[in-house]
Amino acid sequence: MADSRIPNELRQQVIERAKSCCEYCYSQSRFAMQSFSIEHILPTSKGGLSVENNLALSCQGCNNHKYNKTEGSDRINNQIASLFHPRQHTWTDHFVWNEDYSLVIGITAIGRATVDTLQLNRDGLVNLRKVLYQMGEHPPL
């Protein structure tokens, strides 16, 4: 099994690259109730390495729902689609915000599979986005 330990310097690089936001749901770590994780995009259980190009900053909710998944179901065409890959895909190519920036909407098979699999619109997260939007703190990027 690959060594999944991540050196502190690499960990800091991932956090800075992500601007301290979850690379899936765009939650901001400064408003999080739980610590964020450095997540293996391709899980170590599937041969993923602890290298910069395979690491993403993830909130605990997204990390827990993703676990070791790399694919999910697209509810529109009922086919399997790859999940969003923060190093290979551009967020705005696969997702948009609704009018009040409280919901992430998948606009491609990858986006829809990721929204559903990682549950990017969890109730508490949607409520937090609404409050932060009213305060001018959301969206972060």
| Sign of the Cα pseudo-torsion (18, 24, 84, 100, in order) | negative
Residue 32: which residues within 8 A CB-CB, separation 6 or more?
Answer: 59, 60
Summarize pLDDT for 61-80 with one digit per residue, the tens: 999 999 999 999 999 999 99
pLDDT of 4: 52
User: Taking the domains of the chain in order of start, what are their residue ranges?
Assistant: 8-134
Residue 30, pLDDT above cutoff 80: yes
Query: Distance between CA 77 and CA 57 in Å, rounded?
Result: 29
Length of the chain counted residue by residue: 141
Query: Distance between CA 127 and CA 22 in Å, rounded?
Result: 17
Residue 141, pLDDT above cutoff 80: no
Q: How many CB atoms lie within 10 A of CB 91?
A: 16
Determine what percent of the chain falls in helix, strand and coil, rounding each to the nearest 5: 35, 15, 45
Summarize pLDDT for 89-120 with one digit per residue, the tens: 999 999 999 999 999 999 999 999 999 999 99
Query: In this predicted structure, which of 4-8, 12-16, 87-91 has the lowest mean pLDDT?
Result: 4-8
pLDDT of 6: 92
